[in-house]
Amino acid sequence: MSPRLVLLVGFLALLGTGCRNNDGAVKLTVSYLGFKPGCIRVGVKDAQGAGEPRTTELPGKGEPRSGSVTVAAFRESGWGTTLTVTAEAFETQCTGTPVTTTTDTVAVNPGEVAAKELKLEATDADEDGYVSMATGGTDCNDTLQAQHPGAQELCNDRDDNCDGKKDESFEVGQLCDAPNGCKGAWTCNPQGARACVERPGQWRKDADNDGQGTRTGTGLTSCTQPLGYVANDLDCDDANPQRYTGATELCNAVDENCDGVADDGLALNTDCTGEGSCSGKRVCGTDGGVICNNPKPTVLYADSDSDTYGAADAGVTNCGPTRAGYVSNSTDCDDTRAKVYPGAPELCDTLDNNCNGTQDEGYAVGTTCSPGQNCPGATACASDGGTRCVYLTDPVNYYPDEDLDSHGKPDAGVLTCTPDAGYVPSGDDCDEGNPFTYGSAPELCDLVDNNCEGTVDEGSACPAGGGTWVSQSATTSETWRSVTLWGDGGVWVAGSGNALRSRPPGETVFRNFDGHCAGDWYGVSVDPVFKYAVLVGQGTAVAYHGPTDPGCITGGAAADTHARGIVSLSLPDGGSEAHIAGVSVADTDFGRAVWRNLGGDRANTIDIAPLTDVHGISRDVLFAVGGYPPGKGASPRAYRFRPDLNDWRSELVQDITDVASHQLRGVWVVNSKLAYAVGERSSVLMWNGSTWSKHSSPAGEDLLSVVAFGKSSLYVSTNSGKVYWYNGSTWSVMPGMSAGGALNDIAATRPDNIWVVGSGGRILHWPR
C-alpha cells in the first residue's frame, strides 16, 4: 500500500468490493466548525507503533465556517486491531504549524469497516480564510476581512498583512522634498498611498536616533531639517531606540511599536500546539519571541503492574512528564507482575524478580533436604516467596503389624516413606493378635470373624452344625504324647509302647507304624531337610522313620537323657538340627538339653532344671522349659539357647511375681517377638521379645501343651482333657470335645487345622 490514504469518492463502492487482504478498513469523517481549512492532513498508524504510519492531504470543503471530508484507510498487514487516527487543519497549505489537531483511536477487526469521526474547531469570524490568533491561527484582526496575513499592506496606519508592522515600505515620517521646496515628511493619504507634506512644527527631537521624533512637547518649524530632529512625532519613547512606530513588537510586556498596547498582535494566552502536538498557551519567551508553553513531550511506558517500572515494548509519546499508569523508564522485564523489576528482592517463585536473567538465585532450589516423615525431599519455592522442602516421594500411612499378617492396626497409622520394622501399608486388621484376621482374610472355622465384617464363621467355613473335635483314631489303648505337622497336611503322632502313626500329605487315614521303632516315645518332629520323623523318648532313645517307609533307623542316643521334647530347625547353610530336652538318666533332678546335627551330639555345660519341652523358630529364638517338682523346690524354669555360646542360659522366670510354683510343661515360639510357656496350676507366661511376664490363664487347670499364632490366638491342652482358646481378652473351652483323659500335646498350622493327642488313644482334629 502507498503512504497515502484512499480518498473515498463513493464509500458504498468500497463496501461492495470488500477489504483488501481482508485486514479491515476505517472510514474517517473529518468535520470542522467555525472555519474552513485550506488544507487538511489525515494520518493513520498502529496504536502500538508497528509498521509505518500512513498520511494524505486534501483541501477543505463546504461553507466558510463548516464542512467535512471523508477518507478511508485499510489496516496494514502487521498492524494491530487498534489504530490511532489524526486530523490536522492548516489555513492555506499543509505546511508549518497546524491551526488545530485532533487524535483518537479506533478498533478495526479483520474483514470489517469501522467508522470514526474526527472534529476540528477554530474561529474565522470575518471569513477571510484565516483563523483568529486566539484559536491558533495567524489572523491579527478577525473582525476585518481586509486584514490578514495574505492581505496587501497599504499606507493607512494599520498592519494589513499581520506581520507585526504597519505601513512598512511607505517610509512614513521619513524626510522628503515637499512641493514648495522645503523638507517635508511622508504621510499616508486617504487612498492608502503616501504623500510628502510640510507642516508647521513638524520637526521633532530624535534623541535616540531611531528616525522618529518624540511625541511630547512642541516641534520646530523650519524649511530645512535641524540637526537631531526628524519630521515626525511617531516615537512613543525617544529615550529607547527599540521603541518606535513600526518597530517589531517583541513579547516582553513593552509596547515596542508605539500603538499603545504591549505585546499586541502576538495572541498571548491563546491555545497553541507545540512540539509533539502538545497543547499549551502562547506566552513570551526569554528572547522576546512568542513560544507555546506546551508540556515537553516525553516517551512514557506502560506500567501495568504498578511497580514503577515500565514495559520496553509499550512506549507512547505523552505531553508532559507524567501520565496515569505510565512511567518514564522501560526496564521492567515482566510488566504483568508487580514483584518483578530491576533491583527487586529476589524471591523464590520461579520468576526472575530482579531482571538479571536468573531465576530464584540464592535459594538452592532442587537441592536435597528433609521434609520429614523419613522421606527424601528437595528444596522448592514456597507461596510466600521463601523456600520449602517438598517430597520427592509422597509419604503414605504405614500401620503396626504385630501379628505379622501384612495387615496393620487401622487406628495407629504413621505417615512416612521409610517405615520402621513391623509396619505395613495395609491398615485393615481388626485383630492385631491373630494373623488370620484382617479385612480380606478368608473366613475360617475358628470361632473368629476373620474378614472383619462382623460375622463369625459365616458361609461354608464350618461344617453343618459348626466346628467340632473329630476323632482320627479307631483305637483307645494308646497313650499319645506328641503330635507334629509337616508339609501340606502331613501328621505324625507318637506315644508309649512303641506307638507311632503317620498320615502323609494328601491322605486321610493314618498309617500304623506301631513297633517299627522300638521305644517309649515322648516327642516327635520332622527334619526340615530329609523329611524324616525324628523320635525321642525314655532311656536315651532316638530314631528316624520315613513318612511311608516301613523301616526305622536307630540313631545315636542322646547321651544320658530321658527325652521329653524335640524341635527340628533349618540352618542357614541348608542343613538341619534337632534340639532335644529332657532329664538326666543318671540324676533325674537335673535336666539335659542336647542338639544333634551332622557334627554329632552336643549337650548343655551348665546345670539346668529337668526339662519338659523345647520349641523355637531358629537357633536365635529357641526356648526350653521345665522346672523342679514338689519336694525338689517346686519352681518353674525357662532357658534360652545362645548361638554365640552354643549353650543355654536361664531366663529367670522363677523370679516373676506370683508365678506358679510348679513345673512348666510346654513352650511355643510364635515369632521373634512372641512366645508362650504353660504349666501346672494354670501357669501361662508370655515372652515379648525381651522379657517373660505372667499371662492370664484358665482357672484350676494343669496345662500340658501350647500352640499360638498371636496374642489373640492362643490354644492350650490340659490334664483334664480340655482345649482352651484365648481370643485376646477371654479364655474359653473350645466346643465339641468329648470327655476323656489328659491331652498331652497340641499342634496346629492355622486355627482351622488343630490337632491334639492324649491318653485313651485320642487323636482329635478341629474343626472337622
Q: Please report the pLDDT score of residue 600 as a whole number.
A: 66
Query: Is 128 within the bounds of a domain?
Result: no
Let me know if residue 603 belongs to a domain: yes
pLDDT of the residue at 6? 41
Q: Is 88 helix (H, G, I), strand (E, B) or coil?
A: strand
517 within some domain: yes
Going by pLDDT thresholds of 50, 70 and 90, the confidence category of residue 616 is very high
Task: Supply 181's cell numbers.
Answer: 521646496
Q: Sheet holding 82-90: strands in order across?
A: 54-58, 39-46, 82-90, 100-107
Domain membership of residue 697 (yes or no) is yes
At 7 the pLDDT is 41
**378-432 per-position pLDDT tens digit:** 999 999 999 999 999 999 999 999 999 999 999 999 999 999 999 999 999 999 9
Average pLDDT, rounded, for the chain: 91
Residue 706 lies in a domain: yes
The number of domains in the chain is 2
User: How high is the pLDDT of residue 599?
Assistant: 59
pLDDT of 261 reads: 93
Say which residue, 539 or 177, is predicted with more confidence: 177
pLDDT at residue 673 greater than cutoff 90: yes
Which DSSP state fits 16? H
CATH number reported for the structural domain that contains residue 97 in this entry: 2.60.40.10
For residue 598, the model assigns a pLDDT of 59
| Domain end call among 122, 137, 165 | 122
pTM for this predicted structure: 0.59
Q: Could you tell me how many helices (H) and strands (E) the chain has, helices first? A: 1, 53
Burial of 663 (0-12, 13-18, 19+ CB in 10 A): buried
Could you read off the pLDDT of 137-191 as tens digits, one per residue?
A: 999 999 999 999 999 999 998 999 998 888 988 988 888 888 888 888 889 999 9
Torsion angles phi and psi, residue 44, rounded to 5: -135, 135
**pLDDT surpassing 50 at residue 585:** yes
State how beta strands 368-369 and 377-381 pair. Answer: antiparallel
Domain-ending residue, one of 122, 145, 173: 122
Burial of 268 (0-12, 13-18, 19+ CB in 10 A): middle
Q: Which of 198-212, 586-600, 724-738 has the highest mean pLDDT?
A: 724-738
pLDDT at 9 (0 to 100) = 34
Asked if the model's pLDDT at residue 626 lies above 80, the reply is yes
Query: What is the pLDDT at residue 761?
Result: 95
pLDDT (tens digit per residue) in 60-101: 887 888 999 999 999 998 899 999 999 999 999 999 999 999
234-273 per-position pLDDT tens digit? 999 999 999 999 899 999 999 999 999 999 888 899 999 8
| Predicted local confidence at residue 64, as pLDDT | 86
Model confidence band, residue 557 (pLDDT cutoffs 50, 70, 90): low
pLDDT value at 540 more than 70: no
The pLDDT-based confidence of 559 (bands split at 50, 70, 90) is low
Q: Does residue 162 form part of some domain?
A: no
What confidence tens digit (pLDDT) does each residue in 288-307 have?
999 999 988 899 999 999 99
- Of 526 and 17, the one with more pLDDT: 526
Between strands 600-603 and 723-726, the pairing is unpaired
318 pLDDT above the threshold of 60:
yes
- Whether 60 and 36 have beta carbons less than 8 Å apart is answered as yes
Whether 480 maps to a domain, the answer reads yes
Domain that residue 104 falls in:
6-122
- Of 106, 122, 138, the residue that ends a domain is 122
Whether 529 maps to a domain, the answer reads yes
Fill in the amino acid letter for 362.
G
**pLDDT tens by residue, 456-493:** 999 999 999 899 999 999 889 999 999 999 999 999 99
Mean pLDDT, residues 34-59 taken together: 93
CATH of residue 658's domain is 2.130.10.10
How far is 116 from 297, CA to CA, in rounded Å?
Answer: 26
Task: Quote the pLDDT of residue 15.
Answer: 29
CA angle 457, 458, 464 (to 5 degrees): 80
Query: 226: which DSSP letter?
Result: P
Q: Is 457 left (phi over 0), alpha (psi -120 to 50) or beta?
A: left
Q: What integer pLDDT is reported at residue 276 of this predicted model?
A: 82
